[in-house]
Amino acid sequence: MSDVSGNQLAKVSKLFEALDEAGRHKLLGLAKKTRHPDGFVICQEGEVGDEFYVLVAGRVRVSADDLGESKEIAVLEKGAFFGEMAVLNHEKRSATVTALGEIELVRFPRAAVDQVLAEYPAAKEMLSKVGVMRSEEALAKLMS
């Protein structure tokens, strides 16, 4: 990918600090940068998910179904990553993620993520911990 370097991504997103430059380079070689308008749905709760995302510009809303109504769980800002749960655990998407205004994403296919995380267990552990924490938070929000 030409316009985002490994070092830039490390600055944008903490996660990439757990990789070295070679790991970031490998991952970025398999990534795609995309831009989307306000309201664009990046992933939908209940669907199969095989991509992992880093938000490089803008904000997104994370929401989930609560007895037939969409309930906001979180708002993520530039530098945040999402989509880790379905990719790591081979589960359906746990929430719907929608653009709040214009956004830019870096998208990583599961195969790239699997390959790199196999070599960087610290990054894998961090991602799965965040996933567990987020699902507990989401559950607490939905029960409140």
Residue 73 binds ligand CMP, judged by CB under 6 A: yes
Nearest distance, CB of residue 127 and ligand CMP, angstroms: 10
- DSSP tag of 51: E
Is 16 in a helix, a strand, or coil? helix
Binding mask 6-45 for ligand CMP (x = CB under 6 A): -------------------------------------x--
Do 108 and 11 contact (CB within 8 A), yes or no?
no
* Closest to 115 (Cα-Cα) out of 32, 19, 5, 15: 19
Q: Token digits for 66? A: 């609560």
- State in angstroms the smallest separation of the CB of 23 from ligand CMP: 20
**Contacts with ligand CMP, residue ranges (CB under 6 A):** 43, 49, 62, 73-74, 76, 82-86, 93-95, 97, 134, 137-138
